Amino acid sequence: MLALLLARAGVPVTLLEMHKDFDREFRGDTVHPSTLEILDQIGLASKLHELPHTKVSGPTLQFADGAFRPFDLSRLKTRFPYILMVAQSRFLEFITQQAAQYPQFKLLMHAQTQHLLEERGAVTGVRYLGPDGAQNEIRAALTVGADGRFSTIRKLAGIEPVKTAPPMDVLWFRLPKLPGEPEVTGGAFGGIGRGRLFVLLERNDYWQAGLVFPKGKYQELRAQGVEAVRKSLAETEPRFAKHAEALTDWHQLNLLSVESSLCPTWHRPGLLLIGDAAHVMSPVGGVGINYAIQDAVVAANLLAGPLKAGMLTEAHLSEVQRQREGPTRFIQRMQSFMQERLLGAVLRSGEPVRVPWQLKLLAKIPLLRDIPPRMIAFGPRRVRLNE
Ligand SMILES: Cc1cc2nc3c(=O)[nH]c(=O)nc-3n(C[C@H](O)[C@H](O)[C@H](O)COP(=O)(O)OP(=O)(O)OC[C@H]3O[C@@H](n4cnc5c(N)ncnc54)[C@H](O)[C@@H]3O)c2cc1C
């Protein structure tokens, strides 16, 4: 996204992606209202809607005392009051295809960054392993580490994230669609079982399902095997007992080891970290992609001018962190509250759980009720692209 926005602003950019293509394991397919508004600003929102998608306005959670919707985006004042679910591989192909329309953009697939080039204490580019197995160098006024939660660039720069461990992990898997599917309000719902939470997101031709379970219990679950997951899903959500029969092999399940982290500094002279490389987000609210994209937009706003003028300083990079760190910390605190008050209670309990009173109260007060959906959709500050 940053490469697209910089190329669009006339800055030459080379994007290195270590994989041969964008098609790999599930890592979230959520495109939030904030991203849709930004894409709309550059005329791409309608085109994105042409890709196969579904829309989610908020999950319905089934508690012991009835159904509850922790947030509902459909009341938000925006052209896009929903999360657009698009396969991440298709989304990334879309963004890079749009970027390829600018002569300043160059994409190198199967190119793995392995070393930073440095001169007089400043990063001046990278050395990477190309598709032919040869080492190559690129020199640049700015190197951006947008290389995810296990960022190589962050490690090479010697930046250490401060981690907190949320109380859960998630197993993601797909379930088939069957004739006569249940109606799903808001496109997503969650079933609460004994010490478990199942999340089901409706997709065009399948269900994306997640099993949220207490951190540290993976080996126990693994030992019980896929049959136990199938049984637990059928108990928690009997409407999905038939779908669950499609789970026959542990390899159908993808583990998301849930983490939340924040780097104390996001920059060095000539180098900037954004997205998961700078801060891994807990999956509560599914905001990881959204926050990574907001970082990219703020970076493009602040850096395109100095880069074009050849006047980039570390102060510009520091300003990116200053503008993004506050919203990141804020949402991480909110996630940790939800994890403790809602998920923690669900996961610790061996019994069916009732809706926590704090959530019931929140839902009754209109002014407060709209805070969680606004935070999930936009964060504490609405990010716009400077035109
Ligand atoms: C199982 C799972 C489920 C998730 N579900 C959701 C969800 O529902 N909603 C949500 O918002 N977020 C979700 N997330 C989080 C989300 O994927 C991240 O927050 C988001 O993708 C971060 O974007 P990014 O661009 O910073 O990093 P990434 O999307 O991780 O992209 C980093 C890219 O850098 C490439 N790369 C890495 N190292 C190198 C290197 N040395 N050289 C060249 N290229 C390299 C990688 O191949 C990758 O393409 C999920 C994550 C996981 C693991």
pLDDT tens string 109-161: 999 999 999 999 999 999 999 999 999 999 999 999 999 999 999 999 999 99
Q: Give the containing element (helix H, strand E) for 112.
A: strand 112-119
With cut-offs at 50, 70 and 90, classify the pLDDT of residue 51.
very high
pTM of the model: 0.93
Q: How far is the CA of 363 from the centre of ligand 1 (A)?
A: 32
Q: How far is the CA of 280 from the centre of ligand 1 (A)?
A: 9
Q: How far is the CA of 276 from the centre of ligand 1 (A)?
A: 7
Which of these, 84, 67, 123, lies nearest to 202 by C-alpha position? 84
Ligand 1 mutation target, pool 276, 284, 298, most atoms within 8 A of CB: 276
Which residue owns the Cα nearest ligand 1 atom 8?
28
With cut-offs at 50, 70 and 90, classify the pLDDT of residue 30.
very high
Per DSSP bridges, beta strands 135-139 and 122-129 are antiparallel
**Tokens (6 digits) for 268:** 């060095």
pLDDT of residue 167: 82
Q: Looking at the predicted structure, is the pLDDT value of residue 344 above 90?
A: no
Q: Is the CB of 212 under 6 A from ligand 1?
A: no
Report the 10 Å Cβ neighbour count for 219.
8
Which ligand 1 atom is the nearest neighbour of the CA of 111?
Answer: 43
pLDDT of residue 25: 73
Longest dimension (CA), the chain: 66
Which of these, 334, 328, 336, lies nearest to 280 by C-alpha position? 328
Once rounded to an integer, what is the mean pLDDT over residues 318-332? 96
Q: Is the CB of 89 under 6 A from ligand 1?
A: no
Q: Looking at the predicted structure, is the pLDDT value of residue 196 above 90?
A: no
Q: Is the CB of 281 under 6 A from ligand 1?
A: yes
Once rounded to an integer, what is the mean pLDDT over residues 226-237? 91
Which of these, 162, 157, 161, lies nearest to 314 by C-alpha position? 157
Q: Is the CB of 146 under 6 A from ligand 1?
A: yes
Which residue owns the Cα nearest ligand 1 atom 48?
147
- Per the CB < 8 A criterion, the answer to whether 181 and 352 are in contact is no
Q: How far is the CA of 147 from the centre of ligand 1 (A)?
A: 7
Q: Where are the alpha helices (DSSP H) in the chain?
A: 2-8, 33-41, 45-49, 88-99, 152-156, 218-224, 226-236, 241-244, 288-309, 314-338, 345-348, 357-364, 366-369, 371-377
DSSP-derived letter for residue 110 is T
Q: Is the CB of 321 under 6 A from ligand 1?
A: no
> Of the ranges 48-62, 280-294, 300-314, which is most confident?
300-314
Q: How far is the CA of 27 from the centre of ligand 1 (A)?
A: 6
Identify the residue whose tokens are 């799903």.
Answer: 184
Which of these, 261, 287, 274, 250, lies nearest to 28 by C-alpha position? 287
